[in-house]
């Protein structure tokens, strides 16, 4: 995610010797805040092809900070993707039924005139007989390579204005074993920087906010922290808190000089969301925080990647939910809004059919480390494309889309009038085009307002594009797919080993 201070889990090391002190502590307390902005000047619909003119001016600082932080976040990607230095995979999805999304009419590239369901589908839930028992340990029926059939070259465009979702008032009732975490969209300038939601810690529960990050696998929260600016967990008021002497240190920023750092100790406690709770969940209890983190809206971070890469060596919160049989399905689904503070959510154990239109298209997970899928290339206007053979990490904790530099250069070469600007790709602001990722031979369109990051300067006719080049230090075949893409596609993370995308209603 982007912000002047990148609030991202990047590297978490557990240390036995004493840690060096962080920078000068900041004041205790402080509430979360939201930076409101006026609506974008372009019409905020979900059309797949649209001019990107009238854009605001691009501020390169957040993008530079995010790119800098990603070097640390993916510092061990080479080892992890090669199966080196991984924690044991406990396969907590064992015994859960295979997830089957609801049947919905398929809608192609420009399908505004196609029929739609006459009634709003309810939140998907399994029949009571299909719920896992507390003693079940058999393997799931689904395989890591299972996927829905699809026609090669099928184009998944964004919704047109005629495809607007029904007027939804409230949510359908939740089924047993399913729970929704509402997310707040933290907006800075013209960007949806990060999405955070409430998580309960302790007994009795204390509600605190966490950033949702499918690109990391550890949970951390400030605990009795003198100098941490945001709300924090009070361990002395929890009867189930258990501390330890194992030290943890977290680095957010490559800038050094004491910036972007927190430190603390490993702890366990009851952690939950709504009725779904985990006993003895491990997390890093942060005791010190550098002063440059005091402007972030959330208190902590919830890693949602596979526990095989957790620096604590402990299962993730979601894996613990599965192991303790708190959910009906071994999935979680993510809906992200666009420049709208409310309306985003994570659906634990469920698929919210009110947030999606059309079928779910599945992509097998390549490595049970990050949520990695195969990326075949990029396309422009569904007529020109550049091929690739990449491993793409689907990362809700990253704002933009990052590609190897050669692929990014070849992509921008497809766009007439494109140029280099401030080490980024720039395109004419008045260009009308459709940009898409190619996954398993199918194209998935990116909303033009998300691809456009703003003018290179106030008087320029060039706008910075939302596909950025990764620098040195990354695997040469790695791509990172962030919220810029996920705002257009309702995403389903299935622990049987697949990631699915359905067109998002995006409540826009």
- Annotated active-site residue in 192, 213, 483, 494: 213
**Regarding beta strands 435-439 and 372-380, do their DSSP bridges make them parallel or antiparallel, or are they unpaired?**
antiparallel
Let me know: does 365 contact 450? Beta carbons within 8 Å. Answer: no
Tally helices (H) and strands (E) across the chain.
6, 28
The two tokens of residue 163 are 């495809």
**Regarding beta strands 432-433 and 442-446, do their DSSP bridges make them parallel or antiparallel, or are they unpaired?**
unpaired
Distance CA 496, CA 493 (A): 9
The two tokens of residue 458 are 């106030």
The runs of H, that is alpha helices, within 349-468 are 405-412, 448-451
Nearby residues of 171 by Cβ (< 8 Å), 6 or more positions away: 123, 180, 352, 354
Distance CA 455, CA 415 (A): 16
Let me know: does 442 contact 153? Beta carbons within 8 Å. Answer: yes
Name the one residue in this structure whose structure tokens are 């720039």. 426
For the question of residue 395 being annotated catalytic, the response is yes
Let me know: does 506 contact 192? Beta carbons within 8 Å. Answer: no
CA distances from 243 to 12, 286, 287 (A): 18, 11, 12
Q: State whether the Cα torsion 424-428-434-438 is positive or negative.
A: negative
Nearby residues of 170 by Cβ (< 8 Å), 6 or more positions away: none
Nearby residues of 158 by Cβ (< 8 Å), 6 or more positions away: 46, 47, 48, 445, 447, 488, 503
For the question of residue 213 being annotated catalytic, the response is yes
Distance CA 491, CA 437 (A): 14
- Annotated active-site residue in 395, 462, 483, 494: 395
Per-residue three-class SS string for 220-287 = EEEECCCCCCCCCECHHHCCCCECCCCEEEEECCCCCCCCCEEEEEEEEEEEEECCEEEEEEEEEEEE
Let me know: does 215 contact 306? Beta carbons within 8 Å. Answer: no
Short-list 468, 506, 148, 495, CA closest to 322: 495
CA distances from 26 to 229, 230, 250, 260 (A): 7, 10, 17, 13
Biggest alpha carbon–alpha carbon distance for the chain: 65
- DSSP string computed for 312-332: TSS--HHHHHHHTT--SSSEE
Q: Is 136 exposed, middle or buried (0-12, 13-18, 19+ CB in 10 A)?
A: exposed
Q: Could you list the active site residues?
A: 213, 395
């Amino acid at each position: 995610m982007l912000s002047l201070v990148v609030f991202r889990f990047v590297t978490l090391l557990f240390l036995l010797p004493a840690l060096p002190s962080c920078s000068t502590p900041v004041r205790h307390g402080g509430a979360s805040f939201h930076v409101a902005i006026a609506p974008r000047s372009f019409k905020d619909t979900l059309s797949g092809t649209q001019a990107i003119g009238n854009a605001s001016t691009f501020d390169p600082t957040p993008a530079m900070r995010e790119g800098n932080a990603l070097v640390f976040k993916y510092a061990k990607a080479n080892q992890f993707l090669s199966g080196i230095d991984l924690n044991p995979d406990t396969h907590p999805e064992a015994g859960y039924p295979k997830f089957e999304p609801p049947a919905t009419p398929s809608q192609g590239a420009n399908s505004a005139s196609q029929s739609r369901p006459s009634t709003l589908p309810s939140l998907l839930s399994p029949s009571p007989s299909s719920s896992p028992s507390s003693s079940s340990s058999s393997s799931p029926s689904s395989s890591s390579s299972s996927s829905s059939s699809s026609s090669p070259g099928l184009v998944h465009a964004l919704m047109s204005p005629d495809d607007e979702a029904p007027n939804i008032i409230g949510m359908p009732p939740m089924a047993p074993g399913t729970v929704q975490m509402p997310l707040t969209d933290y907006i800075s300038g013209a960007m949806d920087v990060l999405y955070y939601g409430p998580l309960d810690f302790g007994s009795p529960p204390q509600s605190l906010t966490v950033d949702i990050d499918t690109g990391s696998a550890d949970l951390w929260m400030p605990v009795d922290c003198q100098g941490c600016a945001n709300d924090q967990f009070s361990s002395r008021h929890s009867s189930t808190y258990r501390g330890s002497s194992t030290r943890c240190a977290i680095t957010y920023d490559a800038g050094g000089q004491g910036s972007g750092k927190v430190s603390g100790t490993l702890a366990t406690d009851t952690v939950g969301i709504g009725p779904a709770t985990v006993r003895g969940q491990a997390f890093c209890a942060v005791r010190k925080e550098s002063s440059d983190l005091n402007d972030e809206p959330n208190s902590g971070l919830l890693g949602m990647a596979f526990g095989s890469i957790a620096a604590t060596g402990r299962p993730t919160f979601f894996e613990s939910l599965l192991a303790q049989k708190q959910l009906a399905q071994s999935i979680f689904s993510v809906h992200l809004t666009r420049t709208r503070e409310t309306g985003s959510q994570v659906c634990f154990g469920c698929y919210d059919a009110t947030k999606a239109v059309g079928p779910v298209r599945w992509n097998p997970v390549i490595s049970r480390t990050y949520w990695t899928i195969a990326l075949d290339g990029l396309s422009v206007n569904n007529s020109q494309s550049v091929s690739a053979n990449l491993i793409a990490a689907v990362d809700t904790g990253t704002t933009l889309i990052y590609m190897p530099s050669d692929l990014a250069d070849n992509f921008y070469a497809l766009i007439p009038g494109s140029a280099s600007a401030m080490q980024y790709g720039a395109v004419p602001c008045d260009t009308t085009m459709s940009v898409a990722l190619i996954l398993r031979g199918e194209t998935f369109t990116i909303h033009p307002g998300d691809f456009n990051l703003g003018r290179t300067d106030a008087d320029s006719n060039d706008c910075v594009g939302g596909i950025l080049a990764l620098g040195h230090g990354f695997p040469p075949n790695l791509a990172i797919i962030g919220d810029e893409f996920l705002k257009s596609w309702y995403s389903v993370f299935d622990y049987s080993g697949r990631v699915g995308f359905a067109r998002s209603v995006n409540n826009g």
